[in-house]
Structure formats: structure tokens, C-alpha cells
Structure 1
Amino acid sequence: MSSFETVFGRAPEASASAPGRVNLLGEHTDYQGGFVLPTAIPQRITVSVGRNRSGEHVLHSANSRTTLRVPVGEVGSEFAPYITGCLTLSGVTEGLDVFIQGNVPSGGLSSSAALEVATLRALRDLYALELDDVALALRGVKVEHEFVGVKCGVMDQMASSLADTTTMLLIDTRSLERRAVPFPAGAEVLVIDSGVPRRLAESGYNERRAQVEEASRLLDVKELRDVTDVGTLDGLPALLQKRARHVVSENARVLAGLGEDAAAFGQLMNASHASLRDDYEVSHPQVDALVALLQAHPDIFGARMTGAGFGGAVVALARAGRAAGAAQDVLTQYGPDGRRVVP
């Protein structure tokens, strides 16, 4: 198994890790000032760094067994922009060796945010940067916007930087106020990868963001966060009305879910998936099939896609102690090839 030492022949000068996240409610609301309810997952990405006294960054991914060489000041390709963006925005002007390893699955669980937060934490340690956890998260968002090309909101990086695995983190993405919220009693979280890959920058993600920004402009509001009555949307063009209806109703679902029992919370998750599928149109037929199997299982309170969509992971709220069994039942029906097996 490779390590910084085996790849670069010396010990790293700094090392840090960050978790992925799964979002229970509040999807595609964070770039409209809305409310989100993520939690950290146990899987993490670790980044180790060391100065190499050269004019290039050497980036090694243990998972893909890939080494990239990028001149200082350039962005690079493949996974490099997530790293070089962090380096550039942190004022790094010398060559670094960077070693990346982790077990956060790609697709809906914020592996990119975990990579950015882990990198920024390692740089904070290496250079004694005055960067608190919120400022660090916001720098990760800037990396996505300026170097990766994804106009994401703040949820993923905030969750990776601030959330833990024992509670949900309610975030007001306008004010950045946040507080821990307990999981519904008698329930546990189940996450399943649908097996459908997706790439945000090449998907409809940026298009959806542009659509809701246009809806906000037509409604003469700063963000759809300021709309609480879906009837207000009736004058919008049909497509923009659907997109805006998801954001407005999703914000309401997050607030409605606070303090609810598992059954009621699960129903809100089911409604969230229907809205993402039908109004926001960011789901996928295979994801829908997996969600439907989960929703039909007697030990599942509710299920939905999670993350930006177009494939990726699904999240379910299961009876405490029953998640593993439910997952086995559902995956048997879903099929090893990523498609539902018809009985």
C-alpha cells in the first residue's frame, strides 16, 4: 500500500483529513440562500503535503495510482484543479508534493468538498494560516467556482468542515448560522451508491442554478429563500415555475422536519425525492428505481437521492439496527449491474 513516504521518499510536513457528507433534506437550496440538513459520514479523505523545492507541484492519488505534475501557478487537469485551486488561493508559490488517499465514494457524498477541506486543513497546518473552519469552507467553495467550474453553493464544504457523524447540521446558507440537530429517535441513516456515475461540471447543475437565478430576478427577490408561498410562482414561465417550486417547497420541508419523528421525517424525504425528480429534474431512472425499492421496504421510513443528482448516491432513514438488513434486501432486488431486477 502506497504512502507519502513510499511515493516521495520522505515524511510529509503536514497531513489532514476531512469527511464526506450526506444530505438528509435541503437539496439544491444552498445557492438560493436556503436551509440544509446534512451530516458527516465516516468515510474521509486524507491529504499529506511537503515542500519539494522545485517549480512544480507533484500530486499523487493513491486510489487511482495517478501522479500529476503541474507547474506552480497553473491549474492542471483531471483531479488537479481541486488541489491547485486550494494552493493558489492560499498563496502557495513554491512546489509541493501532495499525497491523496481516502474512501469517500464519488457521486453525491461530496468527495470533492472533502478533498478541498482536507487540502486546506493541511495547508493551514503547513503555513500556520489564520483560517477558521467557516473561512476554510468558503475558500473551498471559491475553488469550485474559479478552478473547477461548478457554481456550487456552500453546503458541501460547510458540512465537510463543520459537521460530525452523530448529529445533523442545520445550516442557514444565507447567514451561515448553524446548529446541531439530533436524528429522529429510533432511526439510523443508510447510504447506498446507485452505481450511476455523474460529473457536475458536465451536467445540468450550472443550468439549474441559472434557471433559479432567473426565477428570482423575475420575481424581484434576492433569492428564492425569500419566497414562502408557492402560489407566488404562478406568473413564472412553466419551466422556471417548476424549478422554483422545488426550491421553495424544499426549504419548507427542511424547517418542517426539525423535531419530527422518524415516520414524519421519512415522508418529507420521500416528498423531497419526488420534487427533485419531477420539478427539478435532476434524478436518474436507476436512482429512481433504487429509491422506490427503499421506500417500499418495511424497515425504511423514507428515502431520496442525495447530492446534486444526475446519478450518484441515495440516502434512507431506517429503523435503528435494521439498515444493513434493509440494504441487503434492496440491493438483491436492485441487481449487481445497477438496474432493478424484475421478479
Structure 2
Amino acid sequence: MAVLSPDEFFRGPPEVHVGAPGRVNLLGEHTDYNDGFMLPVATPQRTDVMAARSDDGSFHLYSATLDEAVDFAPHDSTPHGFGRYMEGCIRLLQARGVDVPPLRMYVRSDLALGTGLSSSAALEVATLRAIRALLQTELDGVTLAQIAQQAEIRYAGVNCGIMDQMASSLADEEHMLFLDARTLDHRVLPLPAGAELIVINSGVPRQLAESKYNERRGECEAASKLLGVQALRDVRDVADVESLPSPLKERARHVVSENLRVLEACEADASRFGQLMNLSHYSLRDDYAVSIGALDELTQALRTDPDVYGARLTGAGFGGACVALCRAGAAQAAGERVVHAMRAAGGAAAGATLLIPAPTE
């Protein structure tokens, strides 16, 4: 069966058409649910959601990307898949007093699933933006991100932090977004001068809800309790975690050192920023134990390229993609060299590259 077009699904034009980007996190991995600091940027790729009021009293959701449809009555629930994220957004808006009528919603995305570029947050944010536009509801960017986060936690079963949704709601492609997960303070910062980004898919898909993500969060909470702090963000000296038993010591060491790396990176030049990215990957590999062989091989291959300042996994780990900071104008060629060399050597099945070019003056 052919993928439905928007005109076929709506039997005419939709009432609204909005979108939201994915995100690439440059530094600050697994810090958001520890009340820490992060530096994401938005991707050029995005998820679009079109919406219109339903004419039959039921919700109808369709993903052109997956060629999957979900239908449910106003008081029923969607059983599985992408619909859980969208239903979560609808139910949480209703809980806030927004009268969300039955809707038809059409989704399409050029964000690759399972790469760690936050396709789920883009879907949530785009869904909320579509409902906001359709119903003319007052909903600022931070509140929207908070609702999106709760949709993922309560309806998709991923006990995530706030970074992905904040980045999808507030970030752009030309700047880093510095985020403080505790206060939700945020500010836009320039990328390091003379640098641009390349993202390479490792070829190993990531399933976050089925990974050890929730386990890592529990370990951080246990470490915080033993240290007598509200969250690991409150530990400012890495030496303070050395009294913890393993693996809590290693998990806490990553979070504390990662927060320090983010704070330093805000004013770092491209060379030092790349070094901090390398250190972040080693910490994620050795202390947080969320890297895999394909990600280690890919980041190491990137580091050996003369036009790469530094590289690390991006996203929660357990598969997905790597990001590298490269000399401006050289990122695409560097990425192609690395992918070609890895494939020629029979290494990890590195996939498509995503270029985020240096900002134009």
C-alpha cells in the first residue's frame, strides 16, 4: 500500500502545518536528569506535523515516515508506537485545561530514527506546536518543552531529562544553546570560531526505552543520596565522588566532570573545545559505560583526521551517532574520508552524514 499524502489523509488541505528540529548535543551528556549543564544545537532535519479537526469524533494519527496509522476514541488510549508520544502531548494539554477536540494529525520526518538525534522530542514538540497553532493556545517555548518531556516519561516510559525537548523547542542550527537543567535558564552562544559540525550515523540503531538509560538514572540518584546532595550537579569537585562504591563512583565521576567540561567549553576556542569533546567520549565510554565498539571506532577514526578538532558520541549512547567539530569548510570531506576508510577496512557500518555548516557572517 502506498504512503498516504497529506491531501489523501485530510481529504483536502490541513488547517495547520508546523515543525520542530532534532538536536545534536555537543557536550553535557547524561547531565540533564542530574540538574546539570548542556550545549546542544538544532539539526537542519526536522519533524513536520499537520493537523485538522476530526470530522468523526475520533483521533486519527498517521506517520508517513513509518506508514503507520493509529486511531482511538477520545477516552481510549493508543496502544503502541509513535502514537504514544502524541497521545501523551494531547492528554497533558487536556490535564492543563486545554479543550483538545478529536484531531487528524499527519507526521513526516527526515530525522533518522534510532540515531540519537532526538526524533522523539522533535515529534513531541511539533505535536504541541500544531495543537497550539490550531487552537490558538498560549504556550511559551519552555512550558512546551516541559509538557513534551512529561509526555515521553509518562506515556513512552523513558525517564528522560529536559535537554532534548528544550533544544527542539528553543535551539537553532547556527548557535549552541547553553542550558541549565535545574533553573531552565538558557542562552544562545556562538559555535567556536572557524569550526563546523559533522554528524555520522554509526549504523547501530539505538532503542532508548530498551537500553540501560533508566538504570543509569537510578545509579545517579543513588550516588546523590550517598553524597547527601539534591543532585550530582551540586558536586563541584570530582575528588568528592571517589569514596563511593563502584559503579556509583564511576557514574558520578562522569556527571561531575561533564558539567565542568560544559562550563569550560562555553568560552573555549575550537582546539580546546575539540579536546573537551574527546574527554567527554572517554568518560562516557569508561565511567558511564554507554558507548559501544562501533561508536568508539568511529570517534577514533574521526580524531585521526587532520581537519577534526574532536569527536564524541552524541545522544544517550548504546548506538546512534557521533558528532565531530571540524575546521570550517572541511567537515563534509572529513566525514566522507572517515566513512570510506571505515567501510574499506570492514569496520563499523557507518552511515549517512549530516553537515551543520559554520554560520555565515
- The interval holding the TM-score normalised by the smaller chain is over 0.9
- CA offsets 1:170-206 (integer angstroms, 9 cap, x no match): 0111111111111111110111111111111110000
- SS of 1:90 mapped into structure 2: helix
Task: Using the TM superposition, give the Cα deviation of residue 78 of structure 1 relative to its aligned residue in structure 2, in angstroms.
Answer: 1.2
- SS of 1:89 mapped into structure 2: helix
Instruction: Give matches, 1:9-24, under 5 Å.
Output: 9-24=11-26
Amino acid in the other structure paired with 1:298: P
User: Conserved in 2, the CA contact under 8 Å of 1:54 and 1:94?
Assistant: no
Question: What corresponds to 1:61 in structure 2?
Answer: 63
Task: Using the TM superposition, give the Cα deviation of residue 93 of structure 1 relative to its aligned residue in structure 2, in angstroms.
Answer: 5.2
Compare 317-326 and 100-109 and name the one that shifted more: 100-109
1:97 aligns with 2:104: yes
TM-score normalised by L of structure 2: 0.91
Task: Using the TM superposition, give the Cα deviation of residue 333 of structure 1 relative to its aligned residue in structure 2, in angstroms.
Answer: 1.7
User: Conserved in 2, the CA contact under 8 Å of 1:82 and 1:144?
Assistant: yes
Question: What corresponds to 1:118 in structure 2?
Answer: 126
Q: Which one of 188, 205, 215 corresponds to residue 180 of structure 1? A: 188
Q: Which one of 227, 234, 238 corresponds to residue 230 of structure 1? A: 238
Question: What corresponds to 1:288 in structure 2?
Answer: 296
Compare 145-154 and 58-67 and name the one that shifted more: 58-67
User: Conserved in 1, the CA contact under 8 Å of 2:176 and 2:189?
Assistant: yes
Amino acid in the other structure paired with 1:102: S
TM-score normalised by L of structure 1: 0.96
Aligned partners of 2:72, 2:292: CA distance in 1, in Å?
35
- CA offsets 1:271-308 (integer angstroms, 9 cap, x no match): 00000011001111111111110011111000000001
User: Conserved in 2, the CA contact under 8 Å of 1:20 and 1:109?
Assistant: yes
Q: Cα RMSD (Å) of the superposition? A: 1.5
Amino acid in the other structure paired with 1:253: R
User: Conserved in 2, the CA contact under 8 Å of 1:76 and 1:84?
Assistant: no
User: Conserved in 1, the CA contact under 8 Å of 2:92 and 2:147?
Assistant: yes
Q: Which one of 40, 45, 65 corresponds to residue 38 of structure 1? A: 40
Instruction: Give matches, 1:143-222, under 5 Å.
Output: 143-222=151-230
Amino acid in the other structure paired with 2:322: V
User: Conserved in 2, the CA contact under 8 Å of 1:243 and 1:280?
Assistant: yes
- SS of 2:172 mapped into structure 1: coil
Question: What corresponds to 2:321 in structure 1?
Answer: 313
Amino acid in the other structure paired with 1:255: L
- CA offsets 1:224-269 (integer angstroms, 9 cap, x no match): 0000111111221110000000000000000111121111100000
- SS of 2:161 mapped into structure 1: coil
- CA offsets 1:70-108 (integer angstroms, 9 cap, x no match): 232313211110111111111255321110011112221
Question: What corresponds to 1:49 in structure 2?
Answer: 51
- Paired residues, what number? 341
User: Conserved in 2, the CA contact under 8 Å of 1:75 and 1:85?
Assistant: no
Task: Using the TM superposition, give the Cα deviation of residue 334 of structure 1 relative to its aligned residue in structure 2, in angstroms.
Answer: 2.0
- SS of 2:205 mapped into structure 1: coil
Q: Which one of 51, 75, 79 corresponds to residue 76 of structure 1? A: 79
Aligned partners of 1:338, 1:80: CA distance in 2, in Å?
38
Compare 205-214 and 65-74 and name the one that shifted more: 65-74
Amino acid in the other structure paired with 2:240: T
CA 1:338–1:313: 2 relative to 1, 3 Å: farther
Structure 1 runs not aligned, ≥5 long? none
Q: Which one of 89, 94, 102 corresponds to residue 86 of structure 1? A: 89
Q: Which one of 19, 26, 29 corresponds to residue 28 of structure 2? A: 26
- SS of 2:177 mapped into structure 1: strand
Task: Using the TM superposition, give the Cα deviation of residue 336 of structure 1 relative to its aligned residue in structure 2, in angstroms.
Answer: 8.2
Aligned partners of 1:338, 1:263: CA distance in 2, in Å?
30
- CA offsets 1:302-340 (integer angstroms, 9 cap, x no match): 000000110001100001100111011000122289834
User: Conserved in 2, the CA contact under 8 Å of 1:72 and 1:93?
Assistant: no
Question: What corresponds to 2:284 in structure 1?
Answer: 276
Which consecutive segments of 4 or more residues in structure 1 shift more than 4 A? none
Question: What corresponds to 1:333 in structure 2?
Answer: 341
